[in-house]
Amino acid sequence: MVYDEFITRKSWAPGERVAKWTTRRLLKEIIRVPKIEPAQTHILEIGSGLGYLAEIASEFNFDRYSAFEPNAKLAALTRAKVPKSTIHEIALPNSSPDLYETFDLIVCIHVIEHAENGYAAAQWLNSLHKMLRSGGKIVIVSPQISDYKGYFWEIDWSHCFPTSNENVSQILLDLNCSIIAKKTFRLGSTCTYISILGKVIDLITPTRMLNTIGNRFFDRPLGTGLKAALLWGTTFVIAEK
């Protein structure tokens, strides 16, 4: 099954702490920017992965948490972490008409870049659009190709569609959504000044050298790991149906 090795690939304590910190910061931004009220929000996550967002959404007292997770092992992991969650073992662009106009907030974190191409990405987002209630929000967080460059494909063999704020926004506009935020998320923030600081640190930090050191002493490519987690910018696009 695709991504069966993902649990092993990510199960490194320092990396897990950084991932949880980043996810917490990201969810705070998702709540703050469009002024979401968690207690009144049914959230759908596309790709629950290791269950980090599910755990944090529970802490933030979202009304309900649901997810699409086609990998059975990852779906079971999220159910174990958050027993009250509802996990659908569905892969985009599949969805059920029973779920149309069900969710107040749909969050896609590092998902759309796995679409085969831009047309497939548009199909995926169209299926999500159908599941949003009127006035609902959709959030797309994906690697900014301008920052990741060739590492976009190196860090994950299944990356296909090079994402940016612009091309993601264009698809959402074609679905008649209103773009309410188009920012870069870096160093745990969408603040422009923090983003500039992160970009400067990225430029002066040698990726390949850190990868060599990391692979030698930790069996991990520390350069790409550090930069993907903190320094390389990701899209942060929020649209409203």
150 lies in some domain: yes
**Percent of the chain having pLDDT more than 70?**
95
Average pLDDT over residues 83-108: 94
CATH assignment at residue 36: 3.40.50.150
Cα angle: 110, vertex 112, 117; to 5 degrees: 140
Q: How confident is the model at residue 232 (pLDDT cuts 50, 70, 90)?
A: very high
**Cα dihedral angle (234, 125, 241, 136), rounded to 10 degrees?**
-70
Looking at every residue in the chain, the average pLDDT score rounds to: 94
Query: Residue 81 domain-assigned?
Result: yes
Residue 161, Ramachandran bin (φ over 0: left; ψ between -120 and 50: alpha; else beta): beta
pLDDT band at 12 (very low <50, low <70, confident <90, very high): low
Please tell me the predicted confidence (pLDDT) of residue 14.
74
Q: What pLDDT shows up at residue 6? A: 66
Q: Of all helices (H) and strands (E), which one includes residue 124?
A: helix 118-131
Residue at 146 is within a domain: yes
The pLDDT value given to residue 59:
95
- Determine the structural domain holding residue 18 and report its residue range: 6-188+232-240
Q: What's the average model confidence in pLDDT over 4-27? A: 80
In a domain, 199, yes or no: no
- Work out whether strand 234-240 and strand 178-185 pair parallel, antiparallel, or are unpaired: antiparallel
Residue 114 has pLDDT above 90, yes or no: yes
Q: Where are the beta strands (DSSP E) in 81-212?
A: 86-88, 103-109, 132-141, 178-185
Q: Are 159 and 151 in contact (CB under 8 A)?
A: no
Predicted confidence at residue 15, as pLDDT, reads 79
- For residue 212, tell me if it sits in a domain: no
Task: Classify residue 175: in a domain, yes or no.
Answer: yes
- Is a pLDDT exceeding 80 seen at residue 3? no
Terminus-to-terminus CA distance in the chain, angstroms?
Answer: 34
Could you tell me the sign of the dihedral formed by the alpha carbons of 59, 232, 9, 127, in that order?
A: positive
Q: What's the CA gap between 169 and 139, in Å, rounded? A: 11
Is residue 201 in a domain? no
Angle at 228 between CA 223 and CA 232, to 5 degrees: 105
Q: How many residues does the chain have?
A: 241
Mean pLDDT on 197-213:
95
Position 9 pLDDT exceeds 80: no
Residue range 19-66, pLDDT digits in tens: 999 999 999 999 999 999 999 999 999 999 999 999 999 999 999 999
Please tell me the distance from the alpha carbon of residue 134 to that of residue 112, in angstroms, as a whole number: 22
pLDDT for position 11: 63
Q: How far apart are CA 61 and CA 208, in angstroms?
A: 41
pLDDT digits (tens, 9 = 90+) for 148-188: 999 999 989 899 999 999 999 999 999 999 999 999 999 99
Cβ(42)–Cβ(18) below 8 Å:
no
For 66-91, what is the mean pLDDT? Answer: 95
Q: Is 215 in a helix, a strand, or coil?
A: helix
Q: Return the amino acid letter for 226.
A: L
Q: Which residue, 100, 121, 120, is CA-closest to 112? A: 121
Domain count, the chain: 1
Contact 137, 107 (CB under 8 A): no
Q: Is 208 inside any structural domain?
A: no
